[in-house]
Amino acid sequence: MDSVLVLIAAPGSHAIGVKTADMLRDFGAGNPRWLAKGEALEVADFAGRDAAAAEIVALPIDINVVPVLNRRKRLLIADMDSTMIEQECIDELGEMAGIGAHIKQITARAMRGELDFDGALTERVKLLKGLDAAIIDTILRERISFMPGGRTMVATMKANGAHTALVSGGFTPFTSRVAEALGFDENQANNLIVADGRLTGEVGYPILGQQAKLDALRRISATLGIATADALAVGDGANDLAMIGEAGMGVALHAKPQVQAEARFRVNHGDLTALLYLQGYEKAEFVT
């Protein structure tokens, strides 16, 4: 068995039932291995896979073909905004500055790959000039929420020997706090320049964009003495594409269309625990 077909639904949805397993058998699949009743199962890849997938695509179920070899990863490298948290931090800063709609528009275009990331970031940060830096603490306290399943994913992978890194095109005041709260081993992001307690409208150079995320994947892998094939990378935006493409398991999580099109693995219905199912973990193995 070289690969398995993994079906994943949203936690608690019970979208994957006995009828789904029976349908897979009708197309030639063997008996399923239930990773979580109603939420996740896998079967050995089979000849009728594409026909079965055509039936499943209309259901609220993610379907991925996962190689069995080297399935459990030894490094997790994750984007932060709209991946490990439910917000885009620079958009939240824009809201507090009273220019939220304008900044959100630029962010959306940058994440779709329509704008140069570095230029879009410097443009948005410039608009924040004069904002009280204490606003960051307010945003973290009142406006930031974690993506469901993230803490469990990090804890489970760490309990099984993986190293975890939060690598963001956002800003260190956010990544440091999010990384600590979720249990990441390290974090990397851009520096917002502050003078006299206010944002100067400048960001530290070099700007950490798509290449920096790829470089982080390679650097951390080399430090750990592993190959990038031993890594799982997850993100949602165009600046995540390089690391998603190089990692052994690159996952587009509720991602922009360009990322969906290019990523080998996609999660649109499940939460972050779906990344554990992709690696073959059963729910009973989760560390919460």
Question: With the CA atoms of 249, 77, 79 and 86 taken in that order, what torsion angle do they form, in degrees rounded to the nearest 10?
Answer: 90
For residues 5 and 42, the answer to whether their CB atoms sit within 8 Å is: yes
Q: Which residue has the tokens 């269309």?
A: 257
CB atoms within 10 A of CB 184: 24
In the 8-state DSSP scheme, what is residue 74? S
Catalytic residue, chosen from 62, 79, 230, 236, is 79
CB atoms within 10 A of CB 222: 11
Active-site residue, 91 included: no
Burial of 264 (0-12, 13-18, 19+ CB in 10 A): middle
In Å, how far are 87, 136, 137 from 142, measured between CA atoms? 12, 10, 8
Burial of 141 (0-12, 13-18, 19+ CB in 10 A): exposed
Active-site residue, 81 included: yes
Catalytic residue, chosen from 81, 118, 230, 240, is 81
Residues with catalytic function:
79, 81
